[in-house]
Amino acid sequence: MTRRLLFGNEAFCEGAIAAGVRFYAGYPITPATEIAETMSRRMPEVGGTYVQMEDELGAAAALMGASSAGVKSATASAGPGMALIQNEIGQAIAAECPMVIINVQRAGPGIGNATRSGQMEFMQTRYGTNGEAPAVALAPSTVEEAFWLTAKAVNLSEMLRTVVVVLGDGLLGLQRAVVDLPDSYDTVEKVERPRPTVGPDAWRGNYTANEIHEIPAMADFGSPYKSIVSTVGLFKRGGGDSTVEGLDVNDQEFTIRRLHEKILSRRAEITLTEQMMTDDAEVVYVAYGTQALSAIAAMHEARAAGIRAGVLRLITVWPFPSDIVRAACANARAVVVPEMNLGQAQLMVGHALANTDTRVAGVNHVDSTFITPAEILARTKEMLQ
């Protein structure tokens, strides 16, 4: 291991590079700008490409171009930039074009408060794009985890042929921490998308799938295969050249469900969570991202005060691990969800615990300050009364 002092925003970059990202298209936006700055320096060093696009939409679209050529690609943005990117996220999910989007969340709607942090795009990550698209998102809590989860995001995007969002926030992106990185990135796992195993003549296109959970092979542009990266093509499940002909509503049904099922059927592989002292917990803190650190501190304080508290830290936040939430909180009287929004993950936790006797409450900040362990503890005592 090599010990280094890294910015959170640098850790995202190094994780992406370690997993093989060699194309980064960016557009400066606070608090994600250092990712573009770092990548502009690092990409050419590792033989990759940095391009600064005219806007975030263009950046996300450029990723689709590079990824179609078989090059692992990433971009980062925040706030209103993420609103623009939703257009291309949906496009890439439907076209099953792997890419990674790092969202260093700022606070507030519209241009919001650029220099301040939030967790306000939790639901946008899932439901932000049009047309019933699935989401995969990982939420790191620390700078070191930002490295590993960005690498993981790249691998998941390739494995699943979809867009994976790394859901960070300004408090993570703009903090410095001492982290241990691998001595060589050669040792970091690198997953490749499924590529054609038949010759060009037998090849039936990027969307040829017979099973509902299937991830079809994808041909690189410039290879001997005719590769169509398209949403129109995917509604014709048989693939082939004339993909805009004869749209079939049954194929549409199959394909939209398949986009979800290819992810949901692999939940066991892609769901990462961490549980601390949940076995005997009377109160469980379900937390993610930077605010999970407060939850962990609150757990220790509660235990010291004789309250049996536990933490369920969500690392894979989408698809939402409802089963794990239900299992971890089954014996608890109360669940507290601390988050820097007005209760977005709390909605999902409440949904997971529907028809149980467990009560769910939030501790919510929208002023961009860290939620303190004391606040979580106070809410705990209220709920256990």
Residue ranges binding another protein (CB under 8 A): 2, 4, 17, 22-23, 25, 41, 44-49, 51, 53-55, 57-59, 61-71, 73, 87-88, 91, 95, 181-185, 219, 221-233, 240-246
> CB 165 → another protein: shortest distance, Å?
18
Answer yes or no: are the C-beta atoms of 302 and 333 closer than 8 Å: no
Residue number, 227 or 316, with CB nearest to another protein: 227
- The tokens for 358 are 């467990």
62/112 Cα distance (integer angstroms): 26
> CB 205 → another protein: shortest distance, Å?
10
20/227 Cα distance (integer angstroms): 22
90/162 Cα distance (integer angstroms): 10
Residue number, 25 or 166, with CB nearest to another protein: 25
> CB 80 → another protein: shortest distance, Å?
15
> CB 267 → another protein: shortest distance, Å?
29
Residue number, 53 or 383, with CB nearest to another protein: 53
Residue number, 50 or 370, with CB nearest to another protein: 50
Say which residues have a Cβ less than 8 Å from residue 201's Cβ, sequence separation at least 6: none
> CB 56 → another protein: shortest distance, Å?
11
> CB 203 → another protein: shortest distance, Å?
12
How many CA atoms are closer than 13 Å to the CA of 273, on its beta-carbon side?
25
Answer yes or no: are the C-beta atoms of 8 and 173 closer than 8 Å: yes
> CB 79 → another protein: shortest distance, Å?
19
Residue number, 189 or 211, with CB nearest to another protein: 189
Residue number, 120 or 218, with CB nearest to another protein: 218
Task: Give bridge partners of residue 49 from the DSSP assignment.
Answer: 23
Residue number, 223 or 265, with CB nearest to another protein: 223
Cα-flanking dihedrals φ and ψ of residue 183, to 5°? -60, -40
CB burial of 51-83 (b: ≥16 within 10 Å; e: otherwise) equals bebeebbbbbbbbbbbbbebbbbbbbbbbbbbb
Residue number, 206 or 380, with CB nearest to another protein: 206
In angstroms, what CA-CA distances link 141 with 85, 144, 296, 304, 313?
Answer: 23, 8, 11, 24, 9
Q: For the CA atoms of 239, 242, 244, 248, what is the dihedral angle to 10 degrees?
A: -50
Residue number, 236 or 313, with CB nearest to another protein: 236
Residue number, 53 or 327, with CB nearest to another protein: 53
Answer yes or no: are the C-beta atoms of 166 and 149 closer than 8 Å: yes
265/159 Cα distance (integer angstroms): 13
> CB 214 → another protein: shortest distance, Å?
21
> CB 35 → another protein: shortest distance, Å?
17
> CB 24 → another protein: shortest distance, Å?
10
Answer yes or no: are the C-beta atoms of 78 and 85 closer than 8 Å: no
Instruction: Please give the distance of CA 246 from its chain centroid, rounded to a whole number.
Output: 35
